[in-house]
């Protein structure tokens, strides 16, 4: 009996290995779904639709975008985590994906365990802007003013865990200032209230605020990258303005459920890297102020681990939590 059990186990393993090879070679064998855990319109959606279009047009296979916004992007992430790990479900991720790992008291998934990195797609800096009535023209002047008015100055964000929110929480932590958080349900209403003088400042994606800065409706005083933005080279970085080491990159990438076949991940990574090199795609990215990145799945995995650790420290230091 024992001998026959061993033979049965070996046979089962052989069949599983053959099935794996066949499924990997025949990928994709049904439509690919790209879950975007944000509403249509933002760059997360642009990225998902760009990949879907190129996959469908380029012979990879029919690909559809499934927008599943809500709960700080955790609804869409949970759906992806619980999908079959066969490469037919992908998830567009951004900064909140890493922040939520520690920001939420309870998540229905484990950020590090339940997903497999595919590619680091692109990044862009945020810009710190203030209402023109604010008596500050530099980051140093803002810090000085905030220290004289603890809890009296206000900043807008697009919600808990967003890059706007965490940029300012990191800024507050590094400058030891107290600035009041006013969350909104999107960048548009936040910027409208900022221009109306209802809130005093925001860290937002550079392309979102730059037209308003050029129109004199906001004052740009710092960008969150370590190098000045090519979109606004006249505006210094927050790092060079006296907050040494301050850096926030608004990044975008693709992951899938943990357990996807390695050669399927390699194929997806290879194809998306090719897409990022296309001239029309690069133009689309740059129109949104986003720099294409690319590289290996392992490179993106390292980036995700570093981001989870970085924002975990900020969440712990500031006490920012979501139940």
CATH node for 31-123+250-318: 3.40.190.150
213-272: pLDDT as tens digits = 999 999 999 999 999 998 899 999 999 999 999 999 999 999 999 999 999 999 999 999
181-195: pLDDT as tens digits = 999 988 889 999 999
Spatial separation of the C-alpha atoms in residues 30 and 35, rounded to whole Å: 16
CB of 173 closer than 8 Å to CB of 148: no
Residues of the chain with pLDDT under 50: 1-23
* CATH superfamily assigned to domain 125-223: Periplasmic binding protein-like II (3.40.190.10)
Domain boundaries, the chain: 31-123+250-318, 125-223
How does strand 89-94 pair with strand 32-36? Answer: parallel
pLDDT (0 to 100) of residue 21: 43
- Measured CA to CA in angstroms, residue 311 lies from 98, 163, 173 at distances of 7, 10, 12
pLDDT (0 to 100) of residue 229: 92
The three-point CA angle 103-66-108 to 5° equals 30
DSSP 247-262: --EEEEEEEEETT--H
pLDDT (0 to 100) of residue 12: 44
| pTM across the whole model | 0.85
């Amino acid at each position: 009996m024992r001998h026959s059990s061993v033979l049965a186990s070996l046979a089962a393993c052989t069949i599983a290995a053959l099935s794996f090879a066949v499924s990997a070679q025949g990928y994709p064998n049904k439509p690919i779904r790209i879950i975007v855990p944000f509403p249509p319109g933002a760059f997360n959606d642009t990225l998902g639709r760009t990949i879907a279009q190129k996959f469908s047009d380029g012979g990879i296979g029919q690909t559809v975008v499934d927008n599943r916004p809500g709960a700080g992007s955790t609804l869409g992430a949970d759906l992806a985590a619980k999908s079959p790990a066969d490469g037919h479900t992908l998830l567009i991720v951004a900064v909140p994906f890493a922040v939520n790992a520690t920001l939420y008291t309870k998540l229905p998934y484990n950020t590090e365990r339940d997903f497999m990195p595919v590619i680091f797609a692109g990044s862009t800096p945020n810009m710190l802007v203030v209402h023109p009535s604010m008596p500050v023209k530099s980051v140093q002047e803002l810090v000085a003013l905030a220290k004289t008015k603890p809890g009296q100055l206000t900043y807008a964000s697009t919600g808990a865990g967003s890059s706007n929110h965490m940029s300012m929480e990191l800024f507050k932590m590094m400058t030891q200032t107290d600035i009041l958080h006013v969350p909104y349900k999107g960048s548009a209403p936040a910027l409208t209230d900022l221009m109306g003088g209802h809130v005093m400042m925001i860290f937002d994606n550079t392309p979102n605020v730059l037209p308003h800065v050029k129109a004199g409706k906001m004052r740009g005083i710092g960008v969150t990258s370590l190098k000045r933005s090519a979109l606004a080279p006249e505006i210094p970085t927050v790092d060079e303005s006296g907050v040494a080491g301050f850096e926030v990159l608004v990044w975008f990438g693709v992951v899938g459920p943990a357990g996807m076949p390695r050669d399927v991940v390699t194929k997806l990574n290879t194809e998306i890297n090719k897409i990022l090199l296309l001239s029309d795609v690069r133009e689309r990215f740059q129109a949104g102020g986003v720099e294409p990145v690319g590289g290996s799945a392992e490179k993106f995995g390292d980036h995700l681990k570093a981001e989870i650790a970085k924002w975990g420290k900020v969440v712990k230091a500031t006490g920012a939590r979501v139940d």
